[in-house]
Amino acid sequence: MTDKEFRKLKRGDLIAIIYEYQKKQEELVKEIDELRAQLESKNLKISKAGSIAEAVVGLDLLFETAQKTADDYVEQIRLANEEAEKKAAGIIKQAEKEAAEIISKARDKADSKKK
């Protein structure tokens, strides 16, 4: 509306227009408050998502370290097992050698008694 049209309006009409503008302003303020609340909620979600992402990275590092530790432990067990098998083979070889000597001495004794 132009200034001339506003001037021609009656007082009641002007009050009605002002009232409508105030209602519209209140609606807009309410909508702004709702949008601010939604924005704050979105910002909070984004912040939490960042925290979750950081936690996931931390867990990845934790799991990598745990896997490396487990791999190292398994390797140590494998090496210890190989060493134990070598020692066991050496002990068996020594025992067989001693057993052969004992048997040989026993046969020699038995042969010398037969003569």
**pLDDT digits (tens), the chain, 115 positions:** 677 787 788 888 889 989 999 999 999 999 999 999 999 988 887 777 777 778 788 888 899 999 999 999 999 999 999 999 999 999 999 999 999 999 998 888 877 777 6
pLDDT at 115: 61
Give the three-state DSSP class for 68.
helix
> Taking a C-beta distance cutoff of 8 angstroms, is the pair 14, 6 a contact?
yes
Q: From CA 71, how far away is CA 94, in angstroms rounded?
A: 34
pTM metric for this prediction: 0.45
Helix (H, G, I), strand (E, B) or coil at 1: coil
Give the CA angle between residues 7, 13, 17 to the nearest 5°. 95
Three-point CA angle 49, 51, 57, nearest 5°: 105
Instruction: Tell me, rounded to whole angstroms, the distance of Cα 98 from its chain centroid.
Output: 58
